[in-house]
Structure 1
Amino acid sequence: MSEKIAFSEDPEIQKNRWWIITAIGLFTFMSTLDTSIVNIAIPTISRDLHVSMSQTEWVATVYLLVVCSLLLLFGKIGDLIGKIKVFKIGMIIFTIGSFLCGFNVSFWMLLASRLIQGVGASMTMSTNNGIITEVFKDSERGRSLGWIGTFVALGSIAGPGIGGIILGFLPWGYIFWINIPVGIFAYLLGVKVLPKDITFQKSPVDYGGSLTFSLAIISIVGLMSYAQLNGFLNLPVLILAIIFIVSFLVFIRIELKSSHPLVELSLFKKVPFSISLISVLLIFIGNFAFNVVGPYYLQNLRGMNPSRSGIVLMAFPIAQVIFSPIAGRLTDKYGSELLIRFGICAIILSQIGFCFFSASSPIWFVILIIGILGFGNGLFQSPNNALTMASIEVENLGIAGGLNALFRNLGMVFGLTISTTILFSAMSFKAGHKVVSYVNGRPDLFLYGMKVLFIVMMVLSLIALILNMIKFNRKSR
């Protein structure tokens, strides 16, 4: 039997490696885009399907629930049967789900279609970094993961901008149907250039761990989503919190006893790996705080229409698109340490800038601060992703990629909930009564809440910076 050649040593695969990253990157972009693009269409969907705004929020929530709860399972399955096989099946399922989502038939059909879409997205998100890490040599790993970071940034932050532009000209179904031609092209390209899997694990699936982990994720995401609308001090939140704690503790117990666990908990003993995941969580919480207040600031306070505000908000992903590949290339040459630190410092600088926004701030200043946030994320995410994947053995790349995507998506969920809670609590404190939305005629309330919010986000970013300083100081000893 001929010996299998590693992807990074196979001349044919190396010839197609940038086409491989194109196919994977396009799907990474679409699956992350669909976490945020729906939010701007919620009022329109609510009106067309004759359901309340709070019900319509579940169109966004059910997608995140499915994605987060299945990421580790599909990451593990990718390690067992092949990451490329799982990725290809996910491409098909996601595209079918996108097709079904676009039909204006009923609210329940839309929810079911989003569930299908979420299954496909979790399959692609959990395996993309693992595939790229296997295909590219160590000398190009930073640059390749930098491009994946670019697609992630575009998808997670460009949603409001792209969604606003689409809704300005077309019915809401097209925010889903835009995925179909891109999905078909990416799938056909993937069939042509993606190789057959050669790395497998020989172990059974940990169904007990998968079930308890999914229950823990569903309960915590459900808790955050419910608390966003109804506050934290109520019985449903308490029940969901108890379910989360119990299911999470049972999950840990199962994993410690299992001979073939869903997650090798020993992975978290690797300090660079653990700190990289925590950093992703903290930075994405801050990014989604911007996602919450950005449209409010531009549309409600500055009076911009969705299309124009969408263009201004695009300063974030455009800056990240420019600097992520550059940061990836620099990572391959000089390592991750300085880039991660500089990136987080730039993010903190932008958060300071947001605190100085006013009703009359020049638009060039607004775009500059948003661009600095994108610049900081570009410098941070590429080397952080490379460091996360480089610290893990090849047979665990699937689960490592799943964990990376999980922490990123949890950052989005927590960022959305925490930021709205802080924003409206601060506005209520200044107003002297409960505030649950933007108050017309009182821009001072919103600006005060925005300042408090970004001070908190600054603290989270400082924690990420300190953790990374500890990480690299330990490494240098």
Structure 2
Amino acid sequence: MSFIAAYFFTLLAPIYLQVVLHTSSQLTGLILMIAPAIALVANPIAGWLTDRYPQVRVMQWGMVLLVLAEIGLVLSNGQHEPWVLGGLSILISIGTAVFSTPSNTLIMSSVPAEQRGMAGATNSLTREFGMVLGTTLATTTYYGSLSVLAGRAALTVTGQVPQHLLHAQSVAYLAATILLVIGLWLIRSRKVMTA
């Protein structure tokens, strides 16, 4: 769920910055570099948390941060930008690190040593599938909403009404929020393994 939702931001943030906010490509690139830069710090901290607290609890913390970030994205309306998007990008990066690190640890520690290669490959496949599915769902939701608002098939963002773009973005991020809430519910209801 987290990788599916992550690709909503990856796909829609550049559109929001460049088409809705008219941010230059250079500034857009710098803003989008915030998340990977924060990940350099957040991942080791997430590893430290994973070693000191129950892994499922740390996963919950990460998922809560991701849900909060998605809610912020749903409410994004072009005001106080690019600061709001930069802050939400930081929250997404921290939430992803805090969720993914204990998740990977839990998966790898739950299988015998001779099956860890297969478990790692399956985990990688799941991440890649999540990315592809996230891109597909984000595109379908965004352009589907945009088409409804425009009253015709919207195949591009060029020439669209900015308010329609904002609304379509909110609908897409709401779909991502729902996915993350389901993921959080699955963790909290112990549908995942406990450490």
Say whether residues 1:374 and 2:93 are aligned partners. yes
Shift of 1:473: 8.6
**Higher Cα radius of gyration:** 1
Pairwise mapping of residues 402-441 of structure 1 onto structure 2 (< 5 A)? 402-440=121-159
Partner of 2:77: 358
Aligned residue type for 1:337:
V
Kept after mapping to 2: 8 A contact 1:325/1:382: no
Alignment counterpart, residue 166 of structure 2, candidates 447, 457, 467: 447
Aligned residue type for 1:378:
A
Alignment counterpart, residue 292 of structure 1, candidates 11, 18, 24: 11
Which whole-Å CA distance do the structure 1 matches of 2:147 and 2:122 have between them? Answer: 37
Which whole-Å CA distance do the structure 2 matches of 1:417 and 1:454 have between them? Answer: 13
Kept after mapping to 2: 8 A contact 1:284/1:408: yes
Say whether residues 1:334 and 2:59 are aligned partners. no
Kept after mapping to 2: 8 A contact 1:298/1:309: yes
Partner of 2:28: 309
- Describe the SS at the equivalent of 2:190: helix
Shift of 1:345: 0.5
CA deviation profile, 1:216-241 (whole Å, cap 9, x unmatched): xxxxxxxxxxxxxxxxxxxxxxxxxx
Kept after mapping to 1: 8 A contact 2:50/2:58: yes
Shift of 1:370: 1.2
**1:473–1:420 distance in 2 versus 1, CA, 3 Å:** closer
Partner of 1:462: 181
Shift of 1:338: 1.8
Shift of 1:472: 7.2
Which whole-Å CA distance do the structure 2 matches of 1:396 and 1:441 have between them? Answer: 51
Pairwise mapping of residues 163-312 of structure 1 onto structure 2 (< 5 A)? 282-312=1-31
Gaps of 5+ in 1: 1-281
Which whole-Å CA distance do the structure 2 matches of 1:371 and 1:475 have between them? Answer: 28
Which whole-Å CA distance do the structure 2 matches of 1:465 and 1:411 have between them? Answer: 16
Shift of 1:470: 2.3
Paired residues, number = 195
CA deviation profile, 1:161-194 (whole Å, cap 9, x unmatched): xxxxxxxxxxxxxxxxxxxxxxxxxxxxxxxxxx
**1:419–1:334 distance in 2 versus 1, CA, 3 Å:** same
Which whole-Å CA distance do the structure 1 matches of 2:192 and 2:171 have between them? Answer: 32
Which whole-Å CA distance do the structure 2 matches of 1:473 and 1:309 have between them? Answer: 37
Which whole-Å CA distance do the structure 2 matches of 1:414 and 1:474 have between them? Answer: 24
Partner of 1:346: 65
Say whether residues 1:318 and 2:24 are aligned partners. no
Instruction: Determine what percentage of the aligned residue pairs are the same residue.
Output: 28
Shift of 1:289: 0.8
Aligned residue type for 2:46:
A
Shift of 1:469: 1.4
Aligned residue type for 1:403:
T
- Describe the SS at the equivalent of 1:471: coil
CA deviation profile, 1:284-309 (whole Å, cap 9, x unmatched): 11111111101101111111222210
Kept after mapping to 2: 8 A contact 1:337/1:472: no
Deviates more, 1:292-301 or 1:361-370: 361-370
**1:395–1:345 distance in 2 versus 1, CA, 3 Å:** same
Shift of 1:357: 1.5
Runs of 4 or more, structure 1, over 3 Å off, are: 472-476
Pairwise mapping of residues 11-26 of structure 1 onto structure 2 (< 5 A)? none
- Describe the SS at the equivalent of 2:189: helix
CA deviation profile, 1:306-347 (whole Å, cap 9, x unmatched): 221011011222222211111111211223122100100100
Instruction: Give the TM-score normalised by structure 1.
Output: 0.40
Kept after mapping to 1: 8 A contact 2:186/2:192: no
**1:475–1:383 distance in 2 versus 1, CA, 3 Å:** closer
**1:291–1:398 distance in 2 versus 1, CA, 3 Å:** same
CA deviation profile, 1:439-464 (whole Å, cap 9, x unmatched): 43511111111100111101110111
Gaps of 5+ in 2: none
Deviates more, 1:327-336 or 1:377-386: 327-336
Kept after mapping to 1: 8 A contact 2:56/2:194: no
Structure of higher RCO (CA pairs closer than 8 Å, 6+ residues apart): 2
Which whole-Å CA distance do the structure 1 matches of 2:6 and 2:192 have between them? Answer: 27
Aligned residue type for 1:463:
I
Which whole-Å CA distance do the structure 1 matches of 2:170 and 2:59 have between them? Answer: 25
